[in-house]
Structure 1
Amino acid sequence: MNYYAFTSLFNGIVVFAISFYLFSRQRQNALYQSCAFFSMSVGLWCIFYALWQVQTSKAEALIFMRLAMVSCYPIPFAFLWFVQQLTNSHPKPWLTTFLLSSLMLFMILGFTPLMVRDVAPVSGFDYWPRPGWLMNIYVPIFFTLVLISYGLLWKGYHAAQGMRRWQIKWVALSLLLGWIGGATNWCLWYDIPIPPVAHIFVGVGFLLLFFAIVRGRLFDIDVITDLVQEAKLSALGIMATSINHEVRNPLFVIKGLAEMHLEHLQGNVYTDKEQMAEKSKEMLQKTILQAERALEIIRNFSGYAKRQSSKTFDKQALDVKEILESIVPLVCSELALDHIRLQMKIFLSTSS
């Protein structure tokens, strides 16, 4: 058994062990399912890769190489699915359909010369695969999906906080080692004289991932639940602060109106009952207006919390005199504490 067969067998055993561990932990959890499927695809590829390396005839080497590649085709697709589950990304349905259709096409044609045309001596290997024309389409898709997945990890890392951020970072760095080691196998396919000596990094990368799963509680449901609860409490605190700031203003106006009206009643400012009734009516109308304003603010926050559709606002003319008259009582109440009297005079312009 040569170095490449041994390292592939090592990689396969490590990755298969991780996939079985994930299946045994949370079979119904989409995050565990996606990671297990990704690991199983890599594990199958490594096992058939090892068997291909020990073949002594061209026909058998071609069969095992095609088996290895059929196991390899789902790897970038499964990795993208895993990353989407980890970062809570939601792809568009048409994109998912396109990717699944492409994967099915590659796997169905995987045993034909369209994908692996032949095996031939290359750089010391007796039976290295030669690509068919359809493989020239698959390889760019392979690297594109990996880059898209790491783009989602990058975006998710910057959007996450605390333990979740550490989880995404560990997945990205540990599996990057495996991707680098595995990607070196493509070089000799296209006569680039770089042997896949870093192939063993596939198993090393998955070992680091397994360490994070077991010791770092990488996919621990309790950790994720705590993070969600922490985010909810943080959002609740922000919302409570905003409500306090927005509702306080109309409440102060209501308080000012009530205090001013009470002072007028106690000071016998009103000369007769008709004037008192008129002023009382005016104060109550302004109080109701401010109360409705406070209720509208609360309704807006409730709609936000329920994630209702965004509300549109129409332009409308405002009566500046009415706005000032609703604010002045509050100012007067505050200024009266310092024995300051405020008078308001509004000059209405008749020009257009």
Structure 2
Amino acid sequence: MVTLLNGTSLHLMVLLLLLITFSPPGKVLFYCHYPDLLLTTRKTFLKKIYRGVLDAIEEWSTSCAHKVLVNSAFTAGVFKQTFKSIKDPPAVLYPSLNTENFLKCPERNMDDLGISMAENGNLFVSVNRFERKKNLGLALHALRQFLDTQDSDSEISTPSPKDSTPTTPSPKGSTHLVIAGGYDPQNRENIEHYEELVRLSSSLNLDEHVTFLKSPDEVTKVNLLRRATCLIYTPDAEHFGIVPIESMFCGTPVIGVNSGGPTETVVHGVTGYLCPNTPEGFAAAMREVVPRSREMGEAGKRRVRERFSFERFSQDLTDIISELAAT
């Protein structure tokens, strides 16, 4: 028997104790998304003591798994640096998408979503929680640089929908950035950071070019990704990052930071661009992607089908379980 546990390593600690107590002997396969001890702070003396004990138990419980899987090679490196006593390296199993939700999603135009922009304008989209670690301000600074480097009266445009015939260039005012993110009205950081971003947008004179969406529903998110010229993905050292996969599945290229999970999902120059986490780097990539959006979007679709489909995930997981059960 093989028991699969999925979550952070803190989840394993709790579930492993339950398995040892109540379940018959068997193999434990743990899918670790990220070490829990790296997801918390230790600002007070008592918290340091509490976490010191918990961290030790976490490392011990993780070592009890017969095999550990992680969601990216980047996470595998973090795992090895964090749990130094665990000698067996984790295996990488990339997550997949529930593509049915995307395929069944009804079509909506931008007006339906409350976004006012020219039909053939450039639409850049950011999808992330309103948290400072997501570096969303980078998208605003990059947009400002992108606009400033265009000709005074026109810019290249990617028409909508992506399979339509290119039209005449659209004016600067038709370029738009939507920053859509998870927003909890009870979360102080969400509230504060949202307000910080709104103020930053105004200070950069971007109000007519930017729309902020709090906690968009699935229909809104999918339609934004379908329509977008490209996804602007700003987190640095992201564990995996499912949004770039969602974007490529929708036929939209990705501009991301050249670190973490996106370096394993985005093929630079083919399905998008990987660049330094600077406004200059992102703005340069935005200029490159605009005339190639449709071509790169099709390459992204193929990339997801070949490497990140549910069928590929299921087969890889089945092979891992079969191998573990046979040992």
More strand by share: 2
TM-score (norm 2): 0.27
Structure number with higher relative contact order (C-alpha < 8 Å, ≥ 6 residues apart) = 2
More helix by share: 1
Name the larger-Rg structure: 1
